[in-house]
Structure 1
Amino acid sequence: MGDDAPKDGTGTAREAAAAIRARIGLGREPRAVFAVDPDHSRGRLVAEPESPTRTPFQRDRDRIVHSTAFRRLAHKTQVFIYHEGDHFRTRLTHTIEVAQIARALARALRLDEDLAEAVALGHDLGHTPFGHAGERALDRAMARWGGFDHNAQTLRIVTKLERRYAGFDGLNLAWETLEGLVKHNGPLADPQGRPLPHHGVTPAELPYPIRDYGRSNDLWLWSQPSIEAQIAAVADDIAYDAHDIDDGLRAGLIDLDALEELPLVGPALREVRERHPDLSRPRVVQEVTRRVITRMVEDVIREALRRLGDAEPESADAVRRLSGPIATFSEEVAAADKAIKAFLYRHVYRSEPVMEVMRAVEQVVEELFARFFEDPAAMPTEWCAGLDPTDEAQRARRICDYIAGMTDRFAALEHGRLFDATPVLR
Structure 2
Amino acid sequence: MDSLYDGLYDDADRERLVAEPPKRVDAPERTAFERDRARVVHAASSRRLAAKTQVVGPQSDDFVRNRLTHSLEVAQVARDLSRALGSQPDIAETAALAHDLGHPPFGHNGEEVLARLAADCGGFEGNAQTLRLLTRLEAKTFDAAGRSVGLNLTRATLDACTKYPWRRGDRPGPKFGVYDDDLPVFTWLRSPETGQRQCIEAQIMDLADDVAYSVHDVEDGIVAGRIDLTRLDVGPVGEIVRDWYLPDASDDDLAATLLALRDVGGWPASSYDGSRRSLAALKNLTSDLIGRFCGAVQDASGAPGPFARYRADLVVPDQTRREIAVLKAIAVHYVMRSDDRRRLQERQRELLAELVAVIANRGPDALDRPFADDWREAADDAARLRVVIDQVASLTDVTAVAWHARLTGVSGA
Q: Smaller-chain TM-score range?
A: 0.7 to 0.9
Secondary structure of the residue aligned to 2:311 is: helix
Q: What is the correspondence of 1:60-71 to structure 2 with a 5 Å cutoff?
A: 60-71=36-47
Is the 8 Å Cα contact of residues 32 and 110 (structure 1) preserved in structure 2? no
Matched, 1:292 2:289: yes
Q: Distance in 2 between matches of 1:263 and 1:48?
A: 55
Deviation for aligned residue 1:157: 0.6
The residue that corresponds to 2:206 in the other structure is 233
Separation in 2 of the partners of 1:215 and 1:226? 15
Distance 1:73 1:211 in 2: 26
Assess, with a 3 A threshold, how the Cα gap between structure 1 residues 215 and 242 changes in structure 2: closer, same or farther.
Answer: closer
| 1:334 Cα offset (Å) | 1.0
Question: What one-letter code is carried by the residue in structure 2 that aligns with 1:408?
Answer: D
Instruction: State the distance in 1 between where 2:181 and 2:99 align.
Output: 15
Query: Aligned pair 1:318/2:311, yes or no?
Result: yes
Give the CA deviation at 1:347.
1.8
Residue 27 of structure 1 corresponds to which residue in structure 2?
A: 2
Q: CA deviation at 1:378?
A: 2.4
Asked whether 1:403 is paired with 2:403, we answer: no
Unmatched 5+ stretches in structure 1: 1-25, 320-325
Equivalent position of 1:379 in the other structure: 367
Give per-residue Cα distances to partners, 1:193-249, cap 9 Å, x unaligned. x954244x698x963354253365545561522222211110000001110001111
> Does the 8 Å contact 1:101/1:235 carry over to 2?
yes
Structure 2 regions of 5+ residues with no counterpart?
235-257
CA, structure 1 residues 341+202, in 2 after alignment: closer, same or farther (shift >3 Å)?
closer
Say which of 150, 153, 158 aligns to 2:134: 158
Contact 1:56 1:174 in 2 (8 A): yes
* Match of residue 240 from structure 2: none
Normalised TM-score (structure 2): 0.82
What amino acid is the match of 2:2? G
The equivalent of 1:148 in structure 2 is 124
Match of 1:174 among 134, 148, 154: 154
Measured on the aligned residues, the alpha-carbon RMSD in Å equals 3.0
Superposition pairs of residues 12-51 of structure 1, within 5 angstroms: 26-28=1-3, 30-31=4-5, 36-37=8-9, 41-50=13-22
1:132-164 deviation digits (Å, cap 9, x = unpaired): 111111111101222101111111111111113
1:267 — aligned with what? 263
2:321 aligned residue: 334
Output one character per residue of 1:322-354: Cα deviation in whole Å (capped at 9) or x when no partner: xxxx22421111121222222222222222222
Deviates more, 1:215-224 or 1:82-91: 215-224
Change (3 A) 1:260 1:291: farther
Match for residue 106 of structure 2 among 130, 154, 157: 130
Residues 104 and 126 in structure 2, CA contact (< 8 A), matched pair in contact too: yes
Q: Distance in 1 between matches of 2:9 and 2:99?
A: 21
Identity of aligned residues (%): 34
> TM-score scaled to structure 1, two decimals?
0.80
Quote the offset at 1:40 in angstroms: 5.8
| Cα drift, residue 256 of structure 1 | 3.0
Aligned residues: 376
User: Residue 39 of structure 1 contacts residue 55 of structure 1 at CA under 8 Å; is this kept in 2?
Assistant: no
